[in-house]
Structure formats: C-alpha cells, structure tokens
C-alpha cells in the first residue's frame, strides 16, 4: 500500500450490548470510530463500493482496504462525531474472531529464547533450527483482548505464556519469493501463544500443548503494514501481574518475516486473513529459575511497540 498522507490506523473488532461484532478503527490521536457508521455518515464511499463489516471483508477488497483507509482519513468531523466509540464501554473480540484456518505459528525463532529452551531441556545451547519450524493452533484457541483464558487444570500443570508478533496475510500467494513476501502482508497484531509445556513434552510434538481451547489471545488491534515501516525493530515484552518476564526486540528474530512467509508458502497457498505468529523471545516461565507457570487469577499483559497491549486473565476453570 502507498498511503503516505494517512494518519496511522489500528483496526479492531468489538461488540456493544451483545450486538453483532463490528469493525472499529483508531485513527492517530483522533479517537476510535465504527467503520461502517463513519463511512455511511461521511458519504466518502461510492454507493457501488462495499463497506466492510468485518476485518476479513476489509482485507479481501481488491486493494486490501486502501480505498477504505483513504475514505476514513477523509471523513469530516461531523461523521466522526456520529460514529465515535468509547473504548471503555466495548467488549473486545479478536480482530479476526474465528480464522478460517488454523493459526500458523513459528517455534524457536528468537536466538535468546532458543538458548533458554535448550538449557531448560538439557540440550546443546547451540542447537539452532536450520529452517523455520512450523506448527498450528486451531481456530478454537482464538480469544480477544480482556477475555479470560481457562487454566485447564484437568489437562496441564505447566501453563506458560509467549508474546509474539503475528503477521496477517492480505494477498493470496504460493511459492512466494522472499523479495515479494512483504507485498502479501496486510498488517500485524499481537498473539499470546499460551502453551501447556507438560503436554508439549508428553506428546512429542507441539500441537496438543499449543491447542487447548482459548490459548491464543489475539489483538487488540491489527495495524496495517503501511504504518509499521520497520517490523524487525519493535520492542516486544510481557508481564505477569505487573512483573516483567519478557523484554526483547524483533531484531533478535532468527528467521525474518520474508523468510517465514516464503518458507510457509512453499507448496501451500497463503490466503487473505491467514495469521502467522512469528515466535517468542526469552523470558518464558519454562526458562526461569525457578520455573514460573501461570496460575488462576494471573493477569498477563503482552506488549508490542506500535501495536499496543493485549491483556488477559487466567481463569480458575478447566
């Protein structure tokens, strides 16, 4: 996208008073607005042009939402006054409430995290992946900002956290070259890849330990890639009950975003709306001495520069 004149935008999905989910946008410092209401009142979109009702509809537009973002930017103040949202009164949903496919994830992709994991499991600390290590989390794992995440006490005693920068794909592609990969990225969001470490070890692969219901909080925003010019230079951090646990920078990624997109698309088409979590930095509970796993009542706040904060609480149920 080439929209140099626009203020930065963050898209989100929300509900008010149990209404159907709606698409919202935060524009610069100017407040938050309902996208459909803003465009309807501004008359900035031609009658034949569809007004997106959700984020997937926006992403799937032929221009990946460029015309909609231009219309949002051009909306008059009167339209903004009629469509403004109080973020304190909404129910946050994941930006894409239920992805059409599994959330794609990358394991062992921050150098310091690889080392801490190797130490925790008694491996050679220099055992680094030779290619991107992929796994997935089913759509049933996805939850929104401020939602509760089950402790899953009947299933695990070692529930852990992982803050991750996630890619949202905007354009379909297969066998994508690294040099073309960024053209397929619509934007970025935050994922907390909550993991049952004991199940991960018990089953000998990652899917079961990563796939418990509700263990993929996502959001609160998707920021179009236009507004994050250097995704490999973002501070990424996580705290539990206000205690800093993870604090790093995406500059520590072993495999870059173009490498991830290219390798994942090898022989497998990526589709608009696909979400790819890019791995977590050091500081996970597994790697601490002593180890610290999540407990009922814990409040987890995941932060990524230029995107925001994703906060969730661990519930007491199974």
Q: What is the pLDDT of residues 79-91, one digit of tens each?
A: 999 999 999 999 9
Answer yes or no: is pLDDT of 152 > 50: yes
Q: Is 243 exposed, middle or buried (0-12, 13-18, 19+ CB in 10 A)?
A: exposed
Alpha helices in 155-274 (DSSP H): 197-203, 207-210, 257-264
C-alpha 52/C-alpha 69 separation (Å) is 11
User: Which sequence spans correspond to the domains of the chain?
Assistant: 9-93, 103-314
* Residue 292, SS3 per DSSP: coil
| Per-residue pLDDT tens over the stretch 28-52 | 877 999 999 999 998 765 555 689 9
pLDDT at 3: 45
Closest CA to 133 of 315, 279, 307: 279
Cβ pair 23, 60 in contact under 8 A: no
Q: Which residue has the higher pLDDT, 33 or 124?
A: 33
DSSP summary character for residue 21: P
pLDDT band at 119 (very low <50, low <70, confident <90, very high): confident
Closest CA to 284 of 106, 156, 111, 117: 117
pLDDT at 2: 45
Closest CA to 161 of 23, 291, 29: 291
Pick the CATH number of 103-314 from 3.40.50.2020, 3.90.850.10, 3.40.50.2300, 3.10.580.10: 3.90.850.10
- Sequence-separated contacts (24+) of 171-175 with Cβ below 8 Å: 171/64, 171/272, 172/269, 172/270, 172/271, 172/272, 173/265, 173/269, 173/270, 174/265, 174/267, 174/268, 174/269, 174/270, 175/265, 175/266, 175/267
Q: Which residue has the tokens 């963050």?
A: 10
C-alpha 261/C-alpha 255 separation (Å) is 10
| Per-residue pLDDT tens over the stretch 217-272 | 999 999 999 999 999 999 999 999 999 999 999 999 999 999 999 999 999 999 99
C-alpha 266/C-alpha 122 separation (Å) is 33
Answer yes or no: is pLDDT of 144 > 60: yes
Average pLDDT score over the chain: 93
**Residues shown for the chain:** 318
Cβ pair 59, 95 in contact under 8 A: no
């Amino acid at each position: 996208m080439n929209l140099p004149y626009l203020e930065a935008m963050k898209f989100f999905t929300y509900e008010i008073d149990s209404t159907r989910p709606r698409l919202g946008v935060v524009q610069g410092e100017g407040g938050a607005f309902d996208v459909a209401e803003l465009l309807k009142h501004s008359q900035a979109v031609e009658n034949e042009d569809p007004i997106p009702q959700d984020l997937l509809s926006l992403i799937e537009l032929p221009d990946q939402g460029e015309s909609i973002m231009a219309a949002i930017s051009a909306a008059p103040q009167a339209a903004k006054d009629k469509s403004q949202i109080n973020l304190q009164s909404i129910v946050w949903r994941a930006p894409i409430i239920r992805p059409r496919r599994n959330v794609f994830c990358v394991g062992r992709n921050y150098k310091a995290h690889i080392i801490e994991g190797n130490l925790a499991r008694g491996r050679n600390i220099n055992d680094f992946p030779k290619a991107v290590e992929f796994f997935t989390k089913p759509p049933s794992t996805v939850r929104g900002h401020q939602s509760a995440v089950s402790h899953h006490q009947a299933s695990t005693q070692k529930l852990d956290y992982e803050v991750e920068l996630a890619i949202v794909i905007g354009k379909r592609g297969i066998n994508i070259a690294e040099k073309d990969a960024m053209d397929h990225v619509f934007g970025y969001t935050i994922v907390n890849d909550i993991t049952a470490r004991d199940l991960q070890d018990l089953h000998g692969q990652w899917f079961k330990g990563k796939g418990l219901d509700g263990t993929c909080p996502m959001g609160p925003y998707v920021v179009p890639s236009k507004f994050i010019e250097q995704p490999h230079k973002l501070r990424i951090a996580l705290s539990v009950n206000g205690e800093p646990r993870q604090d790093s920078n995406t500059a520590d990624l072993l495999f870059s975003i173009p490498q991830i997109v290219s390798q994942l698309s090898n022989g497998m088409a990526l589709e608009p709306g696909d979400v790819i979590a890019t791995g977590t930095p050091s500081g996970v509970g597994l790697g601490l001495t002593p180890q610290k796993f999540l407990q009922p009542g814990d409040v987890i706040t995941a932060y990524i520069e230029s995107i925001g904060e994703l906060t969730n609480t661990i519930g007491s149920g199974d």
